[in-house]
A and B are shown apart, each in its own frame.
Chain A
Amino acid sequence: MKTVIYTCPYVPAEWIVAHGLRASRLLLDRVDSASMFIRSEGVCPFVRSFISEVMNNKEAEGVIVTTVCDQMRRAFDIIVRKCELPVFLMNVPNTWQSLASQKLYIDELKRLGRFLKGLGGKPPSNDALANIMLEYDASRATVLASIEYSSARQYAEAITAFGRDGPNRSVNRVTGIVPLTDGIPLAIVGGPLMSQDFALFDTIEQTGGRIVLDATETGERGICARFDRRRTHEDSFMELANAYFGGIQDACRRPNSELYKWLQQELTTRGVQGIIFHRYVCCDIWHAELKRLMDWTDLPVLDIDTAGDNETDRYRAENRIRAFLEMLQ
């Protein structure tokens, strides 16, 4: 089965799978700036890693890039010139309140469908898409429920495994673990994490914290809304579009007030006592939210900025987290 790779949460895996292809949402690894083929000055480490991964990926037969961030949009220009793989740039609107924006997203999904067809995919029937959506939905719910008995790292790994492999292989990985109840309840908020960032979860737990809300793009925040079974059977495509475009709240949205509403609800429900704000240097979208978040919430906020490519960075982040938790205890 041909594999299509992507990182953006607004790309519905179900749509790719329903076309008979394998959807693989990447968890990126860091790339040392010195080893990059492109100049790295000013480039977001996540975008840098994405370009590197696409160039070196041996499995993929297609790539999907989206426009949610400017550097990713421009990464498309690099990839399309340097890489043999077919690449699709999907327009994901920043505005969301108008019907026109919603329709634009829907039209882009249809265009993505034509790209997938070009890769050898077959347009799905309503029922075929519905069945895949419901399978994903059930599996996704299981993964999300695992927060009760998983460490933060295990939980994050389960979510990324689900994104990478789909429902079949990811569900079993999170069962049978002793529930966690102690530690200061914390949220981690920000854009996508890379695999090396998962070490932060270990540090947090080793120093007396417990992540009860993973509001990163690679965590819960990047997961679409649950599908309504009735609507899924009636019009699976529309339900898919609504659950993704309407269900994922991101800092790139204009306005991004829904992100704060979502955070308000989740922070309260889960009794969060502190926020770890994770961002990459050169990520303007999330960087600009830091001070606003600090002004908005009464909770203490720790800023973890990372260039994503050296050990010093990691030690610094770990030290800051330790100090933060010491202050919270």
Chain B
Amino acid sequence: MRDMPKQITLEEWDLRYEQLKKAGKYQPAYGGPLGRHVEDGDQRLLRLRYDNSAAALRLWNFLLTEEDRLHESRMAGRKIVGTMKDLGTVPVMAYCFENIVAFYPDGAWWIPCVMELGAGLLQIADSLGIDESFCPVRAMLGAFVTGAHFPIPDLLICSVGATCDDFSAIAQRLNGLGHPILWWEIPHRRNPESNETGVNLPGGYSAPKCQVKFVKSQLHGIKTALEDLAGEKLDEQKLFTGIQKANQVRRLLAELRQLAFTAERCPIPALEMLIAEMLAIHFCSNRQETINVLKELLDEVKSRVRDCKGILNVDAARIFWINPVADLQVMNLLEDCGGRICGTEYLFTHALDEIPEDLPPLEALARMALADPMVGSSIDRAQRICHDIRLFGAEAVLISRIPGASHCALEGRVISEIVRDKFDIPVLEIEVPPVTDSMRPTVRTRLEALVETVRASRNKKRI
């Protein structure tokens, strides 16, 4: 049952859900009307607009039932691993074990948005001395204290070193509250020096061989910890199979991104694309279902592109978006202002690039971990962004600052300078807190200005 693509409200979705159900549309076990999630306190859902496809419904339901899935896993006797900060590396390993489920407690940073601050997580973080001067990921502390969101993991693993100070400090605070953490070191990625052997990394980066060897040793320590937790060995074949599965997800996303960002008419909204991309980092606690969800979404997008259907006007300004937003509604807002997403860098490109399959698996994972955009310099990150701007034909760049985040204070200038040096396109920074309601007019005005600048530039080129 395919209708004209459009964005609809939650109320409209619930009506549409009934239609889909009557039409016999397949619903997975976690399926159901989206409106039911509001009863859990997810008030922000009432203010978002959604893609009207069945594929999007499945995507949203999959996302919004993750906590249930984690609790079910615990009930079923599976071990829960909380993997923190590395955004994509450790879960590839963890999902090689049948009896381990891994997730990012970092994801709690969206709870204040989704629950419109109703969960009180930020207040708990405040009470622990982690106030609003920190990144919204501080909500994670509150989630650990209340235990009301995700189950407290059996094992916590956190990368430190070349990471943001906010997260490192918050994780240490968590550790100080009595949660044991297995820390692993990710060194700042650098280019090989003249006397060093260089190694190519995913994403076009490079690093000296000694850094890859070091990270491999760190990952080996994590592998041992996971083996101890699972009570089974992780051999090379199993890890290789896990990498292949992760690559399956990444290939689906690569195709999805290519179509979504380059089709003449935008086939899928920015918000659904953000969520789809997020699935790559820990498979939303079910790797196989992630593949199924993405396949359905990709089929929908392919069909729309084939039929030249989409959700926005063809003249929407093509925006490259940097950093994830703490308030999901801002992705809707960009489209309201006449923009569309044509390229993203949400801080986890290393979870989107394919992991090399022609290398020993642990070495391949080490190379992937080192390709994390946060691990290297802002200059490297900017160059990757420039590459993708060209690839997707973006006409402007929007840098979305994360309030309080240590990296945002200095990297924006470096990135914008490098982008401006290479392309004659506008770059704009905005700051997006978990709930933007009070500053919505300001954000809107800035987004409109960006879109207008793009359009003016097009007109100049025509003349």
Q: Which residues of A contact B (CB under 8 A)?
A: 38-39, 41-44, 47, 67, 69-71, 73-78, 80-81, 89, 91, 93-95, 98, 100-101, 104, 107, 111, 114, 251-252, 254-256, 281-285, 287-292, 294
Q: How far is B174's CA from A256's CA once the two chains are assembled, in angstroms?
A: 12
Tell me, rounded to whole Å, the shortest Cβ–Cβ distance linking A177 to chain B: 38
Contact between A70 and B130 (Cβ–Cβ < 8 Å)?
A: no
CB distance from B3 to the nearest CB of A (A): 45
Smallest distance from the beta carbon of A148 to chain B beta carbons, Å?
A: 34
Complex contact A291–B129 (CB within 8 A): yes
B60 within 8 A of A: no
Contacts of A95 in B (CB 8 A): 160-161, 183-185
Number of A-B contacts (CB under 8 A): 141
Across the two chains, which residue of chain A brings its CB closest to B215? A100
Q: Provided the pairs A74-B411, A77-B410, A288-B130 are in contact, do residues A100 and B172 lie with their beta carbons within 8 angstroms?
A: no
Q: Which chain B residues (345-388) contact chain A, with CB distance < 8 Å?
A: 377-379
Q: How far is the CA of A311 from the CA of B183 in the complex (A)?
A: 41
Asked if A93 contacts B407 (CB within 8 A), the reply is no
**Could you show 30 A-B contacts with beta carbons less than 8 Å apart?**
A38-B410, A41-B409, A42-B404, A43-B409, A43-B410, A44-B409, A69-B406, A70-B163, A73-B188, A74-B377, A75-B410, A89-B190, A91-B188, A93-B187, A95-B160, A95-B183, A100-B217, A101-B185, A254-B171, A254-B183, A255-B183, A256-B172, A282-B409, A284-B134, A285-B165, A287-B134, A288-B129, A288-B169, A289-B169, A290-B129
Q: Which residues of A contact B162 (CB under 8 A)?
A: 67, 73, 91
A155 CB to nearest chain B CB (Å): 29
Q: In residues 165-199 of chain B, which contact A (Cβ within 8 Å)?
A: 165-166, 168-173, 175-176, 181, 183-185, 187-188, 190, 193, 195
Q: Is B161 a contact partner of A94 (Cβ separation < 8 A)?
A: yes
- Which B residue's beta carbon lies closest to that of A78? B410
Interface of A is mostly: helix
Contacting A at CB under 8 A, from B382-422, are 401, 404-411, 413-414, 417
B145 within 8 A of partner (CB): no
* B423 interface residue (CB < 8 Å to A): no
B175/A255 in contact, CB under 8 A: yes
Q: Are A281 and B133 closer than 8 Å at their CB atoms? A: yes
Which chain A positions have C-beta within 8 A of B161?
A: 67, 91, 93-95
- Near A by CB (< 8 A), chain B positions 136-164 give 158, 160-164
Tell me whether B188 and A81 are in contact (CB under 8 A): no
Besides A91-B161, A288-B172, 15 more A-B contacts (Cβ < 8 Å) are A42-B401, A74-B407, A76-B377, A77-B379, A94-B183, A111-B193, A251-B172, A254-B181, A255-B175, A281-B133, A282-B133, A285-B165, A287-B169, A288-B129, A291-B128
A77: which of B172, B173, B414 is its contact (CB, 8 Å)? B414
Bound-complex Cα distance A70 to B220 (A): 25
CB of B30 within 8 Å of the partner chain: no
**Chain A residue nearest to B177 in the complex (CB):** A292
The smallest C-beta distance from A225 to any residue of chain B, in angstroms, reads: 22
Chain B residue at minimum C-beta to C-beta distance from A76: B377
| Cβ-based interface call for B221 (8 A) | yes
Contact call A70/B407, Cβ cutoff below 8 A: yes
Q: A41 vs B405: C-alpha distance in the bound complex, in angstroms?
A: 11
Separation of A282 and B195 alpha carbons in the complex (Å): 38
The answer to whether the Cβ of B8 comes within 8 Å of any Cβ in the partner chain is: no
User: What is the CB-to-nearest-CB distance from A257 to chain B, in angstroms, rounded to a whole number?
Assistant: 9
Across the interface, A100 reaches (CB within 8 A) one of B165, B185, B378, namely B185
**How far does the alpha carbon of A91 sit from the alpha carbon of B134 in the complex, in Å?**
24
Check: B210 CB closer than 8 A to any chain A CB: yes
Contacts of B377 in A (CB 8 A): 74, 76-77
Residues of chain B lying within 8 A (CB to CB) of residue A41: 409
Residues of A within 8 A of B210 (CB): 107
Q: Does B262 contact A (CB under 8 A)?
A: no
Closest chain A residue, CB of each to CB of B220: A100
Tell me the complex Cα distance, A111–B211, Å.
13
Q: Is the CB of A114 within 8 A of B165?
A: no
A254-B160 contact, Cβ under 8 Å, with A94-B185, A100-B218: yes
Evaluate contact between B129 and A285: CB separation under 8 angstroms: no
Q: Chain A residues near B172: list those with CB within 8 A.
A: 251, 254-256, 288-289
Are the C-beta atoms of B378 and A42 separated by less than 8 Å?
no
B195 cross-chain contacts in A, Cβ below 8 A:
114
> Of all chain A residues, which has the CB nearest B380?
A77
Which of chain B's residues have a CB closer than 8 A to the CB of A284? 133-134, 165-166, 168-169, 404, 406
Determine the chain A residues whose CB is within 8 A of the CB of B133 once the complex forms: 281-282, 284, 287
Known: A77-B378, A100-B214, A254-B168. A292 touches B413 (CB 8 A): no
